[in-house]
Amino acid sequence: MVPRKIIIDTDPGQDDAVAILLALASPADLDVLGITAVAGNVPLPLTEKNARIICELAGKPDAKVFAGCAAPLKRKLVTAEHVHGKTGLDGPQLPTPDMPLQPEHAVDFIIQTLRTEPAGTVTLCPLGPLTNIATAFQRAPDIITRVQEIVLMGGAYFEVGNITPAAEFNIYVDPEAAEIVFKSGVPLVVMPLDVTHKVLTTKPRVQAFHDMGTEPGRMVAEWTDFFERFDKEKYGSEGAPLHDPCVIAYLLKPELFKGRMINVEIETTSDLTLGMTVADWWGVTDRAPNALFMGDVDADGFFALLTDRISRF
């Protein structure tokens, strides 16, 4: 089987880091053409640095990492150090990366790659705010029809918000960018909080990473030990959700997930519900479906996949 070509757009973040590791551990299935950093969980200088740290941890210093947009399209940047720590990857001690940052801007890389690769062969995998993707679509509308699919982590329906009462963080940070992407016509698969809150880092699941005896396994365990403190206190849950790896897990084993093809609109004007993904889950409007919006996941199967792949490093 020919590996699926992907671009990972990300704002690492411990869960972003696990998602990137999962992708880089699966070269027979996924061809990571590049990793594009965006401001989100922490500012851009940290997200691009973190992406390079993760690639080196995976033993992939030849991976291409690009820095993208440092701020949302129309708003001031909102970050999440309260969850991920001041570096975005707080927890274990991390080395300064040696691998270089690519000189090209992330948006230019996305545009050029989609123009160069055969149409319908590149999947975009946004794990953070959608600023880079929307900017590329605005700057080069011709690339929109060339995208095979967008599989993203963002939004919520039954779980409502995690940064405001109504909004999930990635969409809230740049709702105008999200609106552009959701209205683009590109096939969309959405991993909302409704799914990610079902893949929890319980003690046995984290212990499985410790037990690998490898540096990536140790890092994953220590990262989850760090950031789960916030979610366990917030939700009273037995562990923290691993949001972003759901995107990569879907590419590897889509049968782990269940969802519906529905209409999803992005709220961009309301003070109360800014960034809300208004998901017509019950089909009560006549708005045309534009996203496969996931609602359930086989959590045990998810962690079995994640543990197997991370153990391959």
Indicate if 243 belongs to the active site. yes
Catalytic position from the list 84, 105, 210, 243? 243
Over the chain, what HEC string results?
CCCEEEEEEECCCHHHHHHHHHHHCCCCCEEEEEEEECCCCCCHHHHHHHHHHHHHHCCCCCCCEEECCCCCCCCCCCCCHHHHCCCCCCCCCCCCCCCCCCCCCHHHHHHHHHHHCCCCCEEEEECCCCHHHHHHHHHCHHHHHHEEEEEEECCCCCCCCCCCCCCCHHHHHCHHHHHHHHCCCCCEEEECHHHHCCCECCHHHHHHHHCCCCHHHHHHHHHHHHHHHHHHHHHCCCCCECCCHHHHHHHHCHHHEEEEEECEEECCCCCCCCCCEEECCCCCCCCCCCEEEEEEECHHHHHHHHHHHHCCC
- The residues that are catalytic are 243
